[in-house]
Amino acid sequence: MTTTAFVFPGQGSQFVGMADAWLNASGQADSLFQRACDVLQCDLKALVQSGPEEVLGQTQWTQPALLVTAVAAWQGWQAAGGSMPDYLAGHSLGEYTALVCAGALDFDDAVALVHKRGQYMQSAVPEGQGAMAAILGLEDQVIESVCEQVNADIGKDGAVSAANFNAPGQVVISGHADAVRKATEKARQAGAKRVIPLAVSVPSHCSLMRLAAEKLAYDLQSVSLKAPKIPVVHNVTAKTCESEEEIRALLVRQLFSPVRWTQTMQYLKDAGVESVIECGPGKVLSGLFKRFDRRWPTASIQSPDDISKLDLNKRRNTA
């Protein structure tokens, strides 16, 4: 039987209408959105179906919208008779989706948590004071060195740092706007093939998110966690974990620590994963796996039609 990993996308993969295929296919997705609406006391379903796009793009709404849509895709896979994967992982927000699908985190709790997470992230840094940029074509160590140089030059630790190690030669930096600008200049001087400022309102996964992490830690104390039924590879460590308290601590650290996605892909490769299925909107993660290893079979589940194209017999659980 093929060893498979399911991966769940983070912010940036959202779009108006992303859940339409699931909502039109069965009542399961509708039920999920109704539960989310009850938790958040808002019409999240209408927002996902009709927008407006600028509201869906606000962090506190993007996060629950993506989580619910990806869980709907996961339920669609299960309803079609798909087998349980051997590993789960999610990029940033997607880690919460992975924990829900692994049975470690209650769906309703997750919806409330990621909504608050988005609010805390948005309020942690005044608009315009933070920034993020993608740097292509440099090794991780070079980018880390560039950030250290900038921090030393301006005399402030953590002013800019690596936020996402997305794939070999693709790293996102995050921090104070001026520090990020200086780091991108140094990256160009170091030979970066491309530097792309990102249109974001929140500088994620850097020291500016420590206040948000403190608030999230308080909320997490009242949330029940369980050992995952399917191993989840965590962003902070790029390893699996079965301890409920450690998972809780990792979710807090995740807010101000880099997403180690390159290392996550390496972990899955070393674990013998033979195919990867991206579960949820977009194909961002599938692209990163292809960048990591073009020979690695990947697929994307964004609709019931995508599931029907996969050979379920090869992926069916024989246990």
pLDDT tens sequence for the chain (319 residues): 789 999 999 999 999 999 999 999 989 999 999 999 999 999 999 999 999 999 999 999 999 999 999 999 999 999 999 999 999 999 999 999 999 999 999 999 999 999 999 999 999 999 889 999 999 999 999 999 999 999 999 999 889 999 999 999 999 999 999 999 999 999 999 999 999 999 887 999 999 999 999 999 999 999 999 999 999 999 999 999 999 999 999 999 999 999 999 999 999 999 999 999 999 999 999 999 999 999 999 999 999 999 988 865 444 433 2
Neighbour count for residue 268 (Cβ, 10 Å): 24
Neighbour count for residue 131 (Cβ, 10 Å): 24
Alpha-carbon span 156 to 131, nearest angstrom: 16
Of 200, 219, 249, the one marking the end of a domain is 200
Residue 317 in 3-state DSSP? coil
Alpha-carbon span 72 to 101, nearest angstrom: 10
Q: Are 153 and 64 within one domain?
A: no
Neighbour count for residue 69 (Cβ, 10 Å): 32
Q: Are 140 and 236 within one domain?
A: no
Of 143, 172, 200, the one marking the end of a domain is 200
Q: Are 117 and 38 within one domain?
A: yes
Q: Are 243 and 310 within one domain?
A: yes
Domain CATH for 311: 3.40.366.10
User: Which pTM was predicted?
Assistant: 0.95
> DSSP readout, 108-141?
HHHHHHHHHHHHHHHHHS-TTSEEEEEEESS-HH
Q: Are 117 and 26 within one domain?
A: yes
Q: How many domains does the chain have?
A: 2
Domain CATH for 141: 3.30.70.250
The yes-or-no answer on residue 91 being catalytic is: no
Q: Are 214 and 168 within one domain?
A: no
Contacts of 319 (CB under 8 A, 6+ apart): none
Q: What angle do CA 97, 53, 122 make, to 5 degrees?
A: 60
Alpha-carbon span 81 to 137, nearest angstrom: 41
| Tokens, residue 80 | 């079609």
Of 200, 231, 246, the one marking the end of a domain is 200
Alpha-carbon span 118 to 108, nearest angstrom: 16
Exactly one of 91, 115, 176, 205 is catalytic; name it.
Answer: 205
Q: Are 107 and 19 within one domain?
A: yes
Q: Are 59 and 34 within one domain?
A: yes
- Write down the pLDDT at residue 125: 93
Q: Are 30 and 118 within one domain?
A: yes
- Write down the pLDDT at residue 122: 93
Q: Are 250 and 103 within one domain?
A: yes
Is the Cα dihedral 88, 91, 95, 100 positive or negative? negative
Q: Are 136 and 181 within one domain?
A: yes
| H or E element in which residue 211 lies | helix 210-220
Classify residue 269 by burial, with Cβ atoms within 10 Å: 0-12, 13-18, 19+: middle
Q: What letters, b where the CB count within 10 A reaches 16 and e where it falls short, cover 294-317? A: eebebbbbbbbebbeebeeeebee
Alpha-carbon span 90 to 230, nearest angstrom: 13
Neighbour count for residue 38 (Cβ, 10 Å): 12
- Write down the pLDDT at residue 157: 86
- Write down the pLDDT at residue 319: 29
Exactly one of 92, 174, 257, 286 is catalytic; name it.
Answer: 92
Q: What are phi and psi of 49, to 5 degrees?
A: -80, -40
Q: Are 167 and 226 within one domain?
A: no
- Write down the pLDDT at residue 317: 36
Half-sphere exposure of 91 (CA within 13 A, CB side): 29
The yes-or-no answer on residue 115 being catalytic is: no
Q: Are 110 and 225 in contact (CB under 8 A)?
A: no
Structural domain that includes position 164: 130-200
